Structure 1
Amino acid sequence: MTALIPVTEVAAAVDGFLAASPAARAWDVETAFDWARADADRLTDGQRSAVRFVTLIEDHLPGYFDVYHRHFPVDDTVDLATFTHNRELYHFTVRWALEEDTHARALARYQDAAGIAERGALRDELAIEGRKPFDLPFDHPVQFFAYALVQEKATQMYYQHLRDVVDEPVLAAVLGRLARDEARHFSFVADVVSRYLRAHGDDVVDPLRDVIANFRMPLADTMRGYWRWALEIADVASYDHTEAYEHLIKVIDRAVDARTDRVDELARFIAECRTVA
């Protein structure tokens, strides 16, 4: 893959992420929550629907992880320099995948414990969507990180919004844990995008613009009834994923000391793509 940042840059970003994510601060599904107190009767129909929706999204983790494996391979299909870069990135992706898989398990466990779904039936429901392929239509490496920047921040914000409106302590605790993890994932990809901007400047303007111009949240193009369901669960928590675009603009502002005309135009374009005041 062309236009990678130097391996020292990706290694510094990974080191920073892992330093902020020590194993001692990790949590596990089995002991982090009092599952016996989970009670879906304290949720509205819309909140139950939101839990079901985000469980499907999180559970597609094998597909998301495979994107990194295919586009940043760690095998003999790439030259030595590219392998070295991708091997450093892999230290992040395996930790990220573990945490995202924990999110999927926590949400599924909540559905079972709270009485939203029976475990076997839920497993079958998740498999229907989980077998569908997932890919991102990008050819520049910065695009994978810019997409993740928006997606991770949007997911973090949704979990926070939903936590603030539910009156069920166990679900609120789960959502709080998930939001904190997503915030750390966002910080990593924001750091990487910043490093691309500093290293390549105007050369990444068009790739970044393309990400926003064609942005879709995960599974938007494969899940049956996605858009209707997404609108319903957005109303439950007063949420719009384009709120996350503001954070990409902030990354651009911090990364570029002397803004060029093309970078200024990119920031204006991203701001105009927002659908919230």
Structure 2
Amino acid sequence: MLYTIKKIGLMAVTATVMVVGGTAVSAAAGDSAYDLKKNEWPHAGPFGTFDKAALQRGLQVYKEVCSSCHSLKMVAFRNLTDLGYSVDEVKAFAAEYEFPAGLDDEGEVKYRKGLPQDYFPSPFGSEEEARESNNGALPPDFSLLGKSREHLSMFTPWNSIYGEDYIVGILTTYHEEAPHGVEMAEGMYFNEAFSGNQIAMAPPLFDELVEYADGTEATKEQMAKDVATFMYWAAEPKMEERKKMGLKVIIYMTLLTILLYFVNKRVWKRVKKGEDLV
């Protein structure tokens, strides 16, 4: 009888965890009926590392496609060395941008070339300008967006949603026309993964929209995965260092635990024999 009660209780807990996990995944997917596709990410997991080639391609997609609307205000050019670029390459990249440098003798704003210590500039001068250019919507900053939709479930890891999966879903599930019976607001686009399925951003990616420097075929899906990887790096650029430090801490704590076990065993062995510990 007791075994039956325990079994029923365990089944109830399992069912609850699965329901809660499924609900959280649905929320992470933006409260949409669309089921986000789970992708394999090299940087996922406790030992994952960033794919440097994917990061560089993602930066290229951001620069050539996304940067016209989305800022990256928390990332400095000098951070791009983490992507595998040399210091000289970073300097050349930064020099492609211009920044205000005070006023000249005639009272006009003068500009200077970007430096590695500068941060990516915003494409708009103000929030009002940004909204006016995007059908009233404010394009989000890309600095932390890669982790804003992340849901990692301890009890249902098969249902875990990564922020990259959500980004890929957004970028690849536009419909040319809304499904029958769905009334779209003016200037909005139907997107399966977006909350409410109506999004102000026009479809940003098309096959062969960019020409990758490394020769990779620039399909819509490939570009979506690359820019999602880049956005995740932007949100957590020290991820690899954190994982390495975590591994060292685990090894240290394991060795310390073993040492303390034998010390404890030796001390209590003497206590049990009635020996003087001093």
Give the TM-score, by structure 1 length.
0.22
More helix by share: 1
- Based on CA coordinates, which of the two structures has the bigger radius of gyration? 2
More strand by share: 2
Pick 1 or 2: higher relative contact order, CA cutoff 8 A, min separation 6.
1
